[in-house]
Amino acid sequence: MPEFDSHTPNLARMYDYLLGGENNFAIDREAIDTLAELLPEAVPVARANRAFLQRAVRYLTGTGIRQFLHLGGGLPTQGNAHEVALGSRVVYVERDPVAAAHGRALLQADDGAVMLQADLLDTDDVLGRAADFLDLSQPVGLLLVSVLHFVLDDDEPHAMVARLRDALAPGSHLVVTHATSLVRAQGPGTLGVHRGAGGTDRTPQEIREFFGDFTLVSPGLVQAADWRPDRPRLVGSPSPASCLLVGVAQKAAKPQ
């Protein structure tokens, strides 16, 4: 099993710290504190993203979905899918072997959730291994939350997601959050947050294309804070995640 390196920042542990978790080291906290000084929006964006994930999972369980495939979610901490969808089966898939090993350790006592270490771009491998735990002939909640903006265009992320969509049973749902540059006219990399971490932001239209022919549920593709909020936002108050677009879409039943 890979050792937990306490001297090198790890993205999954850094995200855990962003969310207020305890599964991180001093080096991870130092990296995030430095980032927050440069980009004060980093913390509210991360927490708005996690709050949306929780609302989306609650929505999906309300539709009857009881199994989830969460790709690139980092460490399964701080109100992640298995902690919200109680009684469901959840498969987490993480590319980083250190994060995956840490995640498996965290889930040892949970019979309903597992962590797999796999390359998200190898969809056949991911789906094949997930099928050992999930019934892919039945509806699944596919969670691609703050991961697609780390997949560069050269790796053909739209084709990757299309393969995943095709493998899902009718009635399944796709949940996506993605960084966007709504002010791209000011120049590439306006957001800075994800480009600085090796990723890329995309336009709203490029993000909409990830859903393919799935039907977006109301309110559609919106800012994270505006997707079925638990409480109304005060009039005129800024969104804590205006650079993050989110959506939930359903795969239609096959015609008779």
pLDDT recorded at residue 201 = 83
Q: Is the dihedral of CA 138, 139, 143, 144 positive or negative?
A: positive
Q: What angle separates helix 11-18 from helix 26-38, to the nearest 10 degrees? A: 70
Strand partners, 180: 202
What one-character DSSP code corresponds to residue 180? Answer: B
Q: What angle separates helix 11-18 from helix 97-106, to the nearest 10 degrees? A: 50
Nearest to 171, CA basis, from 131, 136, 207? 136
CA atoms of 50 and 109, how far apart (whole Å)? 23
Query: HSE (CB half, 13 Å, CA atoms) of 230?
Result: 8
Residues 6+ apart with CB under 8 A from 1: 101
β-strand pairing of 173-179 with 222-223: unpaired
pTM for the model stands at 0.84
Q: For 27-57, write each residue's pLDDT tens digit.
A: 878 887 887 787 777 788 888 899 999 999 9
Residues 6+ apart with CB under 8 A from 148: 157, 161, 176, 178, 207, 210
Q: Where are the domains of the chain?
A: 11-250
Biggest alpha carbon distance in the chain? 58
- Scored b (16 or more CB within 10 A) or e, 108-139 reads eeeebbbbbbbebeebeebbebbeebbebeeb
pLDDT recorded at residue 130 = 97
pLDDT recorded at residue 193 = 37
Are 234 and 226 in contact by the 8 Å Cβ rule? The answer is no
Which residues of the chain fall below pLDDT 50?
A: 183-198
Quick count: other Cβ atoms within 10 Å of Cβ 249? 23
CATH code assigned to 11-250 = 3.40.50.150
